[in-house]
Every structure is written in structure tokens, then in C-alpha cells.
Structure 1
Amino acid sequence: MTTPDLSADWLTTWQHEITAMLQQTLARFETAYGYPPGDNDVLVADDQSRATAARLEDATVPADLLTFYSSIAEL
């Protein structure tokens, strides 16, 4: 990553950009490869994933990783 400090705002922007590119790719995927692409999403964190990330604060987990887990639930 080229960001000096990972922030929730940066991750939100990243999620929107990746989702837009992913939609473009998936629109052509089956034609190009001959089979459906399956599920491909970037899911933003919900209350449950944010609570799980908060429990990691007591562990030795880098702050940027906690920010990621608090912002992005699943790839």
C-alpha cells in the first residue's frame, strides 16, 4: 500500500473503486473464460465484524490491520 496511515475513509474509497472495477471485470468474465465467475465482492464491515475487530485490540495486532478489519468484513 502506498498510504502512510491506513484510515477508514481511505478503505471506504478503496472499496468503492475495487467494486466498480470488479463489476466491469465480472460483466465480461463468462464470455472471456467460458464459465461463470462465482461470488466476488468486497463487503464493508457490519456491527458484528466491527465488534470482532474491537476484541483484537487487546492482542498484539497492528493498528492498520485493526482499521482494515473494522472497515472491510470480507473479500
Structure 2
Amino acid sequence: MIEEVTRSWALVLERGVEPDQHLFEELGAESVKVLELLDVMSERFGVFLTVEQLYENPTPRAVAILVEQSV
């Protein structure tokens, strides 16, 4: 799951991403990217995350844990 979520972040950010890389600030700099990531998470994993959840879990690894808990 971690690899899949990390690939999703990389797709949205259009660059390489590491699982433990703190990326919310980069997403937050452009709110469209936050919404895009939320859409990707919903489409790929069938989970509906909030902006607050991304803020509280700012790495792909942390988001993967949320996704696993939600499925």
C-alpha cells in the first residue's frame, strides 16, 4: 500500500517522492494539488480523506496507514 500511495503523490506532484518525505507544505502551496491528491486517493483506493487528515498525516507513508485503516 505504501508504494501505491507514494506513486499517487508522485503523480500529483509530477516528480519523484519518498515514502517518509514531508510533502503537505508543498501540496498546500497550491490548493489545487491538495484537491487533486484527494481525488486520486478516492479514485484509486475508494477512501475519502479530508484536507485536515492530509495535514495531520503529511507523508505518503502516513496516508497509506490511513488508507489501510479505512478499507
TM superposition score normalised by structure 2: 0.27
Q: Which has the larger radius of gyration?
A: 1
In terms of fraction of residues, the more strand-rich structure is 1
TM superposition score normalised by structure 1: 0.26
In terms of fraction of residues, the more helix-rich structure is 2
